[in-house]
Amino acid sequence: MTRFTHAIVRRPCRALTEGISSGLYPGKPDYELALRQHDAYISALRKCGVTVDILPADERYPDSCFVEDPAVLTGKCAIITNPGAPSRNGEKDEILSAVRKYYPEDRIEKIRFPGTLEGGDVMMTEDHFYVGRSERTNEEGIRQFREILRKYGMDCTEVPLTEVLHLKTGVNYLGDHTLLVSGEFSDKPVFSDFRKVAVPEEEAYGANCIRVNGTVIVPEGYPSVLSSIRALGYPVLTVDTSEFRKLDGGLSCLSLRF
Ligand code: CIR
């Protein structure tokens, strides 16, 4: 699995309480608690051996701490996405300045209207990308994404979504050809060649774990997910993300790892 040296995060802003929420996990985020949870998240990333670039809070965009959505960073290029949520679309310009520190201009690509795409819909496996077609990521966005990947010798497979916000809300790659899957992803033929670790319905949020340089970071409060991952023999760190969950945000959404 790709070894990561860096991660980019953005501090939650006070306007976080006005972020988009499906209402699946009720309540408004507690800002102070969200900041403490964000600190713990950064510590966990550092324990996994990555240097964390911490961008300042941006009050114009309530959801801007979910930095995974406005960019996709690969070993060969950076792709600035075009977030499908109107209140989030401007986040792409802000992430661009951060990405410029790490990628030369001729390796920075963009998804453009009428295409839309959010990074939460993009799952990278060893050498391939899976892209969810969702309410945020449309057909044209996927077509442009594929065209960009092919330019760099990579490719992707489209995965239509019916139930969840983003692809990685329900399926995440742990390395070793293993996927953590919940709900609609449990039996999708497109994933039939992978070893699958099933997440029970009542722990669906726990399907969004990230493996960073060998260690799996797991959200706190999902015992079945935790024991399944331990059973695979992976070292584990847990982080409480309760305040981000109220906005449908998971562990992966809070960073760009590259
Ligand atoms: C949103 O609805 O856009 C945010 N409240 C949550 C984004 C979560 N991001 C992700 O799953 N990659």
User: Comparing C-alpha atoms, which of 131, 116, 210, 120 is closest to residue 165?
Assistant: 120
List the CATH number of the domain containing 82: 3.75.10.10
41-58 mean pLDDT:
98
Predicted confidence (pLDDT) per residue in 195-209, tens digit: 999 999 999 999 999
Residue nearest to atom 6 of ligand 1 (CA): 249
Active-site residue flag, 177? no
Sign of CA dihedral 222, 195, 169, 73: positive
Task: Please give the Cα distance from 125 to 158 (Å, whole number).
Answer: 14
Looking at per-residue pLDDT, the higher value among 126 and 147 belongs to 147
Taking the CA of residue 249 as centre, how many other CA atoms within 13 Å lie in the half-sphere pointing to its CB? 28
Residue 100 within any structural domain of the chain? yes
Helical H segments across the chain, by residue range? 31-47, 91-99, 139-151, 167-170, 223-231, 242-245
In a domain, residue 65? The reply is yes
Q: Which domain holds residue 92?
A: 6-257
Cis peptide bond prior to 56, omega within 30° of 0:
no
Q: Tell how far the Cα of 78 is from the centroid of ligand 1, in angstroms.
A: 20
Pocket, ligand 1, Cβ cutoff 6 A: 19-20, 63, 66, 68-69, 85, 88, 120, 165-166, 168-169, 247-250, 253
Q: What is the atom index within ligand 1 of the atom nearest the CA of 247?
A: 5
Q: How many domains does the chain fold into? A: 1
In ligand 1, which atom is closest to the CA atom of 83?
Answer: 3
Specify the pLDDT at position 127: 81
- How many angstroms separate the CA atoms of 27 and 21, rounded? 9
Give domain status of residue 224, yes or no: yes
Q: What mean pLDDT is predicted for residues 205-216?
A: 98
**Do residues 81 and 72 make contact, with C-beta atoms less than 8 angstroms apart?**
yes
Catalytic residue among 65, 77, 156, 253: 253
Is residue 2 predicted with pLDDT exceeding 90?
no
Mean pLDDT of 63-71: 98
Decide if 1 is inside a domain.
no
Q: How confident is the model at residue 19 (pLDDT cuts 50, 70, 90)?
A: very high
Percent of the residues in the chain that have a pLDDT greater than 70, as a whole number: 100
Residue 127 belongs to a domain: yes
Atom 9 in ligand 1: residue holding the nearest Cα: 253
Digit-coded pLDDT (tens) for 98-115: 999 999 999 999 999 999
Q: What is the mean pLDDT of the chain?
A: 97
Position 166 pLDDT exceeds 90: yes
Atom number in ligand 1 closest to CA 118 = 12
pTM of the model: 0.98
Q: Give me the mean pLDDT over the 238-255 stretch.
A: 98
